Chain A
Amino acid sequence: MSVIAAGRVRRRRRSLVVAVALAVVIVALFLLTLSVGRSITPLGEVLAVITGQDVPGASFTVGRLRLPRAVTAVLVGLALGLSGSLFQTMLRNPLASPDIIGISYGSSAAAVVAIALLGLGGPIVSVIAVVSGLAVAFAVYLLSYRGGILGSRLVLIGIAVGMMLLAVIDWVLTRADVYKANEALRWLTGSLNSSFWDDVYPLAVAVAVLVPAALVLGRRLEVLQLGDDSSTALGVPADGTRLFILIVAVGLTSVATAAAGPVAFVAFLSGPIAARLVPGRLPLVPAALVGAALVLAADFVGDRLLPISLPVGVITGAVGAPYLLWLLARSNRKGGRL
């Protein structure tokens, strides 16, 4: 066996091991979230509820309250991790994740307007959030197009668009009464506090469609990394592929934002963490799994471990921002470019 082939086998084995390990972590966190709350439900009862049996008490606390929340956490994490990794790889910039370049704020701003000003509710809000996320993504993309997309230009324009959308959200918050505004605040930070089964189904359907699409496109993305000319020669047209990846990645971000608000930094953190775990490969599957683990863990910390209950987005924001600073400082010291 040649050296190259041996390396390839080793890397493939490593990514398999990492994926399995992450899956185990997710399952453990999932069961922990279901079992530990204001009251502790024995694991046996948790498993009984999951398999559909009727357990007095646990059927309500675990089945109606904790299970939809945990499922939402997993789905949102998968979607954000995958989407962030797609963006970062495609634009070759660790900062180009959808939460930093304003796309999540596009979805939130639309949702806040729909809820607080138009008095809408239910699935239509999700649809509006997704459509707006797409619109903002294309606007940012077009605005940063000037004979090609440059990662850092896109990041800065995305930040500016995000600031503008944030002003819109702030303004809407001043118009609503304080109770409603507090409810809308979750669209600023990201929260799983109101995750119920009704909201899980549309999210699950969207994730079930978009994740396989993302994984299929991921193979093309790997070809795209060789450069536009080479990839076209290999039968992967560069611009068309990029457009499809953009649509799928924005779709993932938007459905996640519609379900839980803009959970800060999950999309941004998952890709780099996954890339460390699985060096040398396009880390789409690990990034999705890291995202799910992050959201589950942050929600558990925010809701169960702290003396006051904080939404998941505050926790991920507090963890993610130092990493962003570290990333800046490190690339600055190396004299490298972001």
Chain B
Amino acid sequence: MTPTPSTTPAAPVTGRPASRRRRLLAGVAVGAGLLVVACALSLVLGSRTVSLDEVLGGLTDPDATGFGEAAVATRVPRTVLAVLVGAALGLAGAIMQGLTRNPLADPGILGVNLGSALAVVIGIAVFGIASVQEYVWFAFAGAAAASVLVYAIGSIGREGATPLKLALAGAAISAALSSFVSAVLLTRTDVFDVFRFWQVGGVGGADFGEMTHVLPFVGAGAVLAVLSIRSLDLLSLGDDLARGLGGRVGLARAGSGLAIVLLCGAATAIAGPIGFVGLVVPHAARFFTGPAHRWLLPYSALFGAVLLVAADVVGRVISRPSDIQVGIMTAVIGAPVFIWLIRRSKVREL
């Protein structure tokens, strides 16, 4: 595996800059089209499939009484949440892979999710928090602490943070944190009963009120992401070269690190820990865009939203009448991709 994303599977992007730009813009349009299709399916499919009339009724008439309309009305916030969380995680994954120059980076694999999880469990058990606007702060604190810890441990040594070392440090931190999580859960059945539904990562039961609490954080994260596009491109050249070209490496790291914490923390607070989206999506996006972050980031956000909405729909359809939470779907889809990435990489570099 190459430590620099700049040499990871870039599609052969040839041709004149203008036509390349046009093709990349066309890709955004196709991605947006896919997202619309996925959202439409998300409104129509579920434990009850509804007709077009009922969809329109559910969307336009707030007082609709039919089952179909009611189903659509609950699916609307759910779909919006999936779009929001998917975009946030896709974006966070792309920044994370750029920042750590690590193709295996993902909030789940690097232990950031479990950092949030432990903080939320402590919040529920000790401070009695119960609402998303309170979850958010604990999730942020946990995500930030775990990220710093994993990065610090993974980057000790001469070679710095290699993919292998970071992934292992993430696994180790996750193992440690999960045993503390179980320690709390096993002694507090009441906490466990709340937590087990949060922990699987799901977008069911979404409501717009909760979303408005995390929206500012996702927005701030996205703004920071846009601001760090240039420095991420610079960082991908390596620290020395980036510094030589006048980049302020420390500041760039801090800014994009903050973006990751905001995006992951907000997504995790509202939907629970969802793994592998941040891993898979940037790889898929890079296949179309190549390494340049000004295309990679929007593509990742878009693909993340598509993936999460699609995974949620599939989870609902294959286990009717209940549903399989989206976090479980992404783990089942994402782990094989992770394995494929490892198998494909060169032995020496792992």
Contacts and interface: CB of A to CB of B under 8 A. Distances in A.
Interface of A: 95, 100, 143-144, 146, 150, 152-153, 155-157, 159-161, 163-164, 166-168, 170-171, 173-175, 178, 181-182, 185, 188-189, 264-265, 308-311, 313-314, 317-318, 320-322, 324-325, 328-329, 331-335, 338
Given A171-B200, A328-B172, A185 B342 contact: no
B185 interface: yes
B175 A332 contact: no
21 contacts: A146-B347, A152-B350, A153-B347, A156-B342, A157-B339, A164-B332, A164-B335, A168-B332, A170-B327, A171-B328, A182-B189, A182-B192, A265-B175, A311-B182, A314-B179, A314-B186, A318-B176, A320-B175, A325-B176, A332-B156, A335-B157
Nearest to A159: B171
A161 B197 CA distance: 22
B335 A160 contact: yes
Contacts of B183: 310, 314, 318
Nearest to B345: A153
B338 interface: yes
A167 to B, nearest CB: 4
B153 A178 contact: no
B169 A328 contact: yes
A100 to B, nearest CB: 7
Interface of A is mostly: helix
B192 A181 contact: yes
B339 A170 contact: no
B186 A325 contact: no
Contacts of A331: 157
Contacts, number: 153
Interface string B245-289: 000000000000000000000000000000110000000000000
B102 interface: no
B224 interface: no
Contact of B176 (A168, A178, A321): A321
Contacts of B182: 185, 188-189, 311, 313-314, 317
B292 interface: no
Contact of B168 (A155, A308, A309): A155
B196 A318 contact: no
Contacts of A182: 186, 189, 192
Interface stretch (B123-131, B136-144, B159-167, B229-237): B159-167
Given A156-B164, A160-B338, A308-B187, A335 B158 contact: yes
B336 to A, nearest CB: 8
A317 B347 CA distance: 30
B199 interface: yes
Given A163-B108, A164-B331, A333-B156, A317 B175 contact: yes
Nearest to B177: A321
Contacts of A325: 153, 169, 172-173, 176
